[in-house]
Amino acid sequence: MKLIVGLGNIGKEYEKTRHNCGFMAVYYLQKSFIETFGDFKLNKKFNALILSENFNNEKIILAMPQTFMNNSGEPVSALMNYYKINVMDLFVIHDDIDLPLGKIRISQNSSSGGQKGVQSIINHLGTKNFIRFRIGIKSKNIIKNTSKFVLQKFAKDEEKIISKSLEKTHLAVIMTITEGINNAMNKFN
């Protein structure tokens, strides 16, 4: 069983913002998996939008916490405990301001790098030994205010780039499930 979590902020005003790349990637996964996935449903017990389907003879749970980014650890921890998921089977997808727009990186057992949603998950689970798919959002321009920057929508010329990043993330997740993290890291990092 794999739990694939996309990080983002809830609310219409945050849709398609840089900080919501995790949500965008999970929606992309839902629509792009080889087998047809169903629709997300709000599960109040976990405070998350979730859906579960089978892929590659394994149960896959896609989840988007319905807390704000900084509290992502609460629903992730609840899902992990309920489904008895091994931390090595947790995939977290999120934005990374230190990566250039269009780049993705797969990592495991690494620090949060200042990403507060990831730090919340680390704090709640008591470990950082899960797999992360980081989507670059860094602009070519100088960023004066990080908090404002991550809550901005992508410019028109950036939308095509981020769309390709979502496709790469999808392929990286599939390869990690089917061929293992080392093969995926070798191909996508």
Query: Catalytic residue numbers?
Result: 19
Identify residue 141 by its one-letter amino acid code. Answer: N
The token pair at 96 is 């990374």
Q: What whole-number distance in Å separates Cα of residue 89 and Cα of residue 58? A: 11
Long-range CB pairs of 167-175 (<8 Å, 24+ gap) are 167/28, 167/32, 168/104, 169/25, 169/28, 169/93, 169/104, 169/133, 169/135, 170/25, 170/28, 170/29, 170/32, 172/104, 172/106, 172/133, 173/4, 173/29, 173/91, 173/93, 173/133, 174/33, 174/34
Q: Are 107 and 125 in contact (CB under 8 A)?
A: no
